[in-house]
Chains A and B, each alone.
Chain A
Amino acid sequence: MIDHRFDAVADVRSDLANVQYLADDGIASVVFLADRLQKPVLVEGPAGTGKTQLAKSVADMIGARLIRLQCYEGLDEAKALYEWNYKKQLLRIQAERTDGDNDWDSLHDDLFSDEFLMTRPLLEAIRAEDPVVLLIDEIDRVEVETEALLLEILSDYQVSVPELGTVVANQIPLVFLTSNNTRELSEALKRRCLFLHIDYPQMDREKEIVLTKVDGISENLADQIARVVRSIRQLELKKSPSVSETLDWARTLIILGIESIDAESAKETLHILLKYQSDIEKAAKELSD
């Protein structure tokens, strides 16, 4: 019905590369399909592998506005969908009273009109006239019951406001949901989404990422960094280094003016990559063996 945003999987990939996001085949395919099937994408994976960044980059790529809903425990309708501006409504009633004109019908219709509606991210994404990308971040933080709030918008791209009726989307936005997998999401939610698992990148891709994201790094150093990080990820650690930590490490090495990594310099900067003391000790021991 509407024209598609992308022509082929390869286009998605190269376009994403243009905004400095190096996608692999899986990521590119899913983004492509999300557009074609008009379905939201549920992105899961370890922390710091670029889940949120993917949504940002896609928004950047298609020149859309990013609307972000950060989830947390206790998130409710009023924060996610819409809220009536009751203070303004009260003022309105008071103003009416001083007028002395008590036409209840017109007042009632007035009170629940657009003027008093405060849109929250979900409704805003639905009502937007310009192209938008909706990012629902860390969906696993809300309770199972709150998930149900999202179902209508995810499957039909509409929101029902009892007083106003149903608001249908002007255009189908691209929707990304991210999850750190701290709890099992409900079947109903999963069924409505395309599923994408982003894992730590392969060594070659990680090297490419370091090369694009870190200014002034030599190919040789990037290669070494990727290798050392792969080596560390193979250890059994509490928390493996993420991509963002790899990038931090690369930047640190650049600042310190280290051109090639040896065991000594690696050990001294390990705390950038690893955040637990026991992990640092373990890795230091492994690397010096």
Chain B
Amino acid sequence: MLDLLSGFIVELRNAGLPVSLTENLDAMEAITHIPIEDRDAFKYALAATLVKNENHWRAFETVFEVYFSHRGPQYKVDRDGENGESAEDLEQWLQEQMEGMGEGMGGGQGEGLSPEELAEMLYKALLQGDEAMMKAMARAAVSKYAGMEPGRPVGGTYYLYRTLRNLDLEGMLDQLMADSEKDADGLTDLESRLEREEFQHRLDELKKEIEAEIRRRLVADRGVEAMAKTLRKPLPEDVDFMHASREEMVAIRKAIQPLTRKLAARLARKRRNKRRGPLDFKSTVRASLSYGGVPADPRFKYPRPNKPELMVVADISGSVAAFARFTLHLVYALSSQFSKVRAFVFIDGIDEVTHMFQGEEDIMKAVHRVNTEADVIWVDGHSDYGHAFQVFWDKYGHEITSKTTVMFLGDARNNYHSTNNWVVKEARKRARHVFWLNPEPKSYWDTGDSVITEYGTHCDGVFECRNLRQLEGFVDHLA
């Protein structure tokens, strides 16, 4: 047990969770108080002592499922392709269940369920929301459709895909809806929406169960360490903007909301506490009363320094669009921390999009409008920083003042056009600060058509900004 637990903790650290020695010891002590057969309590005991950040919960759960998955003969991948004993047991159990339902379906024992029977039973289980039944069905479906072979080097997603394709869950959802509508003699819109969501929820549960089932079998086949390694994923704050999958995008978007709140609170606090102002006479006199009129406790006024003005100039060409989106999102969520935010987007032409954010409460909608409405194509829709910057300078350059911070976002991949880096140089002369955020890893800078250094020498700072953690660090630096 101790070995397993220390292996588990090593894997958590590998996955990026900061687990300290004391936390490790706490975990060891915690599980002595928990009856080992209570799996949920065991899991929560480990979580409470080891995971101190809600964003890490997912990573923890994955590792937990791998290390402490249900073990036993019934999860073996069949060695010879035939149905093992356990599979027969399961089917027998299912048969009994069917008969219990008063169905009396045909199909002798041992022959296994036909696909139609399986679908039928699954449908029933979904309709009634019978959890035990759904779990059993997930197992049956995996045995039947996934076609898992021991030692085959394919990922779990492949098996998942095979299983789901055979089950046709979409079709099942439509059928469930049709049935429930028939039962209730027509539903109102709201009711049918809620009903659909309920079924969708059950289907999601089923999918999760199937996934877990496949994972269990893979663990049994390949061993714990190998499996943990394949499942290892970066934490949301470390996911690379440029290579995020759709699921990870959603996770990042979710993470950005609390992040903005956190940053806004921190920035406001920082601004207030930064400097002491002149003596606050009134307050000092009042405080002196408790010392018998001796001003022992001088009070100061806290000045409220001007908030910076911000100009964001973002490349939104395909290669860096995701990055620009998140940055704009973050900047606008923080707009209360700046006296004025103006946004410009470019590919080879440039357009001001400030008005799209103004009066639009929903940032996602605004970003969508930017992507569809902004006029950013001049010739061919390939990045041309030189031209975009030139136009930027001619049109808006005179609006840069000593209060303005200019922020360029982009990978500086210029398709070998002229760079016009004098724009950045001139901008720096007028502006308070000029920063450049580059979503590419540092090692790629200045390779190929990247001209980041030509721009970078004229900036106050060039920052690598590939994930939320770095973005957060930069915004903190900014205000």
Contacts and interface: CB of A to CB of B under 8 A. Distances in A.
B54 A44 contact: yes
Contact of B41 (A9, A193, A227, A238): A9
Contact of B190 (A87, A191, A287): A287
B266 interface: yes
A190 B190 contact: no
B45 A195 contact: no
Interface stretch (B30-38, B305-313, B418-426): B30-38
A183 B189 contact: no
Nearest to A198: B54
Interface in A78-109: 86-87
Interface string A195-223: 11101000100000000000000000000
A263 B191 CA distance: 9
A230 B35 CA distance: 34
Contacts of A44: 54
B197 interface: yes
14 contacts: A9-B38, A26-B44, A29-B40, A32-B41, A36-B30, A86-B290, A181-B258, A182-B262, A183-B265, A184-B262, A195-B51, A197-B54, A276-B361, A282-B362
A278 B361 contact: yes
Contacts of B258: 181
B29 interface: yes
Contacts of A278: 361-362
Nearest to A39: B26
Contact of A37 (B29, B47, B262): B29
B198 A33 contact: no
Nearest to B20: A191
B197 A231 contact: yes
Contacts of B44: 25-26, 29-30
B282 interface: no
9 A-B pairs with the lowest CB-CB distances in the bound complex, closest first: A278-B361, A29-B44, A190-B52, A194-B48, A263-B190, A36-B33, A182-B265, A197-B54, A227-B194
A289 interface: yes
Contacts of A187: 18, 20
Nearest to A282: B362
Given A29-B44, A33-B30, A190-B52, 14 more contacts: A9-B34, A29-B45, A33-B45, A33-B48, A37-B29, A37-B30, A37-B33, A73-B269, A143-B269, A194-B48, A196-B48, A197-B54, A287-B190, A288-B190
B109 interface: no
Interface in B187-231: 188-190, 193-194, 197-198, 201
A48 to B, nearest CB: 15
Given A9-B41, A190-B52, A228 B194 contact: yes
A232 B133 CA distance: 29
A195 B48 contact: yes
A76 to B, nearest CB: 13
Interface of B: 18, 20, 22-23, 26, 29-30, 33-35, 38, 40-41, 44-45, 47-49, 51-54, 57, 188-190, 193-194, 197-198, 201, 258, 261-262, 265-266, 269, 290, 361-362, 364
Nearest to B30: A33
A214 B90 CA distance: 44
Contacts of B23: 191
Nearest to B188: A262
Contacts of A163: none
Interface of A: 8-9, 25-26, 29-30, 32-33, 36-37, 39, 41-42, 44-45, 73, 86-87, 143, 181-184, 187, 190-191, 193-197, 199, 203, 224, 227-228, 230-231, 234, 236, 238, 261-263, 266, 276-278, 282, 287-289
Contacts of B29: 37
Contacts of A73: 269
Nearest to B257: A238
A42 B49 CA distance: 11
Nearest to A288: B189
B246 to A, nearest CB: 15
Given A190-B52, A191-B23, A288-B189, A29 B41 contact: yes
Contact of A231 (B20, B41, B193, B269): B193
A82 to B, nearest CB: 18
Nearest to B364: A236
A33 B33 contact: yes
Contact of B266 (A36, A183, A196): A183
A149 B30 CA distance: 26
Nearest to B194: A227
A232 B40 CA distance: 29
B262 A183 contact: yes
A120 B360 CA distance: 47
Contacts of A230: 197, 201
Contact of A29 (B22, B34, B201, B290): B34
A181 B262 contact: yes
Contacts of A36: 30, 33
A36 B35 CA distance: 13
A33 B32 CA distance: 10
Nearest to A9: B41
A25 B262 contact: no
Contact of B49 (A194, A203, A236): A194
Contacts of B361: 238, 276-278
A190 B19 CA distance: 11
Contacts of B290: 86-87
